[in-house]
Amino acid sequence: MHQPQTDHLENVALGKESRQSSIRWNSSFNGPLQANDGNKNSISVGGGCSNTEFDTHNFWWAVDLEVEFIIEIVTIYGRTDCCTDRLRDFDILLYNPTDASWDGYDQGTSKLCYHQTGEAPTVLNVTCEDKNTRGRYVEIYMTKDNNVENHCVKLKFTEGKQVHTKEELRQILQPRLTGLQNEMKLDKKNISRWKRNYISVADKRESARYMGIVGVVVLGAIVGTVCCKSVKEKEKNRPPRVSYRGHKLLSVKAQTQLEVEFLRELQNDPDLELDFWKQPMRGDVHIHVEPKHEKKCMETLERAGFKYSVLQEDIQRGIDTEWQSISRHAGSRDYTQTYLDLNGIDDFLSTLEAEVPQRLERFNLGGTTAEGRQIWAVKVSTDLNGSGKKAVWIECGTHAREFITISTCLATANNLARLYGGSGVVAQKATAMLDLYDYYIVPVHNPDGYDYAFWVSRLWRKNRRRNNGICQGVDLNRNWNANFGGSGSSGQTCSDTYRGNSALSEPETAALDAAIQTTNNVAFISIHSYSQYILLPWGYQSSKPSDYNTLLRIARSAEAELESYYNTAYLVGTPPDILYVASGGAYDHMKLNNGIKYSFTYELRPGSGSSWGFELPENQIAPTIEETFASLWKFAEEIYADDNATGRK
């Protein structure tokens, strides 16, 4: 099977005419073309940068792309030898004149793509405010006098083969994006105040499986990706945070199957609006209860003879503690210390791709979510152009409130890409994994839901589809074609396990399913939280697949490796055996319909007896990552040995 097409479009800024406000050194070596000549060295001295003095002109650097494009993404990378503080307080503008000319520029007709206030980070993701913004000229305007000399500009272009010829792209994309005809330009008097940075103008027009990078110019410190205007509007107009003040988390013990069924009835009672953090099963069941339903819920449980305890008197306290940690680490991209929002995740992945482009590339799974977002994935390989190895897919962030899963996927991508070939225990495991397989990692499968959980309603689980009625969202892990509509899923739109109208009805599940069908797969691993389980097929029925014993042996080996780090014990088995029946799950679908033999699901920390629930503290992030990555290494080793055993292909 062929690999999914993730190659970028040509860098249309490459070698195009460019201007700048002044020349710091001689123009033959440090002229404006040095910013977009394809030389990726980002060191000023001897690196082929375009150098310019500060002056009082309006625009510091500009490029003419010759024809107009719809521009959505602008990416700027920082100079690496020094002076990262010099890129600050600037505008990125797009301009498409009726009469294209450097000298005929009318500043009043340019469109703002992005404004940066203060110092830009080393890698900045830039999102144009309007997804339909067109431009032939790309220009940077310094909005404050920074009194800095010797600005250095350099092109950083995205390598890769074209997905289509220009003519094919025009035919495919013009009906949707109003044309790929023209590129862009800037006029000499406008070229003044840019700072040295790599500006990458990326045009995110998508055919089935690609992202097109229009261009990248190194100017000092920025990387950008652009979403849709609708997303920007939603982010600017987010509703106020949902308060969980006074909400309780109960632990209810179900000892018989009859009691399990009773709890399921409570779960579906619309008058109680109970949120089951741990689904009805024999053993401890965790139930989130709102203050307005607390008395009735407890009376009902007591009348039915249930024993229960209060794990959290006030759920908001835990959320406040978590948010204090997030605020304390604001601006950090250290996924081992805090949870990142979507912008932080995008920054981190952009930086990672820029630093190890030979081993990692990002790509869009295809399509957009209900709120207009793209679903990003990364491919990590020893040869991105085709290693010939089988693929392991890892999916995280399906359920919005399971923040620790996203940190785990980010760490897995980072370890594989950055540590390959290095020394140390983690690097050795990463090298072994990547020598065996290519990895396709989806850090945030549900970006709409995650954004909503991060900024608005911390305990949100589903995506953000607008259903008929007042309740939003579909549970993506009930939307797969594995006994769709069966036990463990709900047909009620207000339920947290609402399965949707039909299998693969959601853009998130449909996109992942389509992408997976384009690769030669050996394993699929879905990462969730919480309760500390490694789950095997089948989740939707009590009978087991014919290769169950093999899967059980492999999973137990991975669990033993995980447990050896911090004595964190996981249970291993099928959901019907150790949890409950759940239909429509991802890993069942992958084994049933996509022929992926080695399909597993994690439920990460904390354990079932913990009061933390989904609010795993910051000091638990790093150990969770460490032990989980070690078990993923053991999975790879065991799967490879079994898959290549005598008599197998």
Identity of the residue numbered 478: R
The dihedral sign for the CA sequence 346, 347, 352, 355: positive
Rounded to whole angstroms, the maximal C-alpha distance in the chain is: 87
Tokens of 541: 């029925």
Distances 561 to 198, 411, 437, 547, 647 between C-alpha atoms, Å: 43, 18, 19, 22, 28
Closest CA relative to residue 129, chosen from 234, 247, 233, 253: 233
Residue 642 in contact with residue 631, Cβ under 8 Å? Answer: no
413: left (phi over 0), alpha (psi -120 to 50) or beta: alpha
> Chain centroid to CA 84: how far?
26
Query: One of 206, 361, 603, 637 is an active-site residue; which one?
Result: 603
Identity of the residue numbered 552: L
Identity of the residue numbered 242: V
Distances 195 to 142, 164, 409, 423, 566 between C-alpha atoms, Å: 7, 33, 34, 38, 48
Let me know if 603 is a catalytic residue.
yes
Burial 339-378 (b: 16+ CB within 10 A, else e): bbebebbbbbbbbbbbbbbebbbbbbbbebbbbbbbbbbb
Tokens of 369: 């979510």
Closest CA relative to residue 249, chosen from 275, 268, 269: 275
The residue with tokens 């490694």 is: 534
Residue 512 in contact with residue 369, Cβ under 8 Å? Answer: no
Residues 6+ apart with CB under 8 A from 250: 286, 287, 288, 289, 297, 298, 301, 308, 309, 310, 311
Residue 575 in contact with residue 543, Cβ under 8 Å? Answer: no
Other CB atoms closer than 10 Å to residue 261's CB: what's the count?
Answer: 11
Angle, alpha carbons 259-261-265 (nearest 5°): 115
3-class DSSP assignment, residue 469: coil
Distances 432 to 136, 472, 598, 630 between C-alpha atoms, Å: 47, 43, 18, 11
User: Would you please indicate which residues are annotated as catalytic (active-site) residues?
Assistant: 603
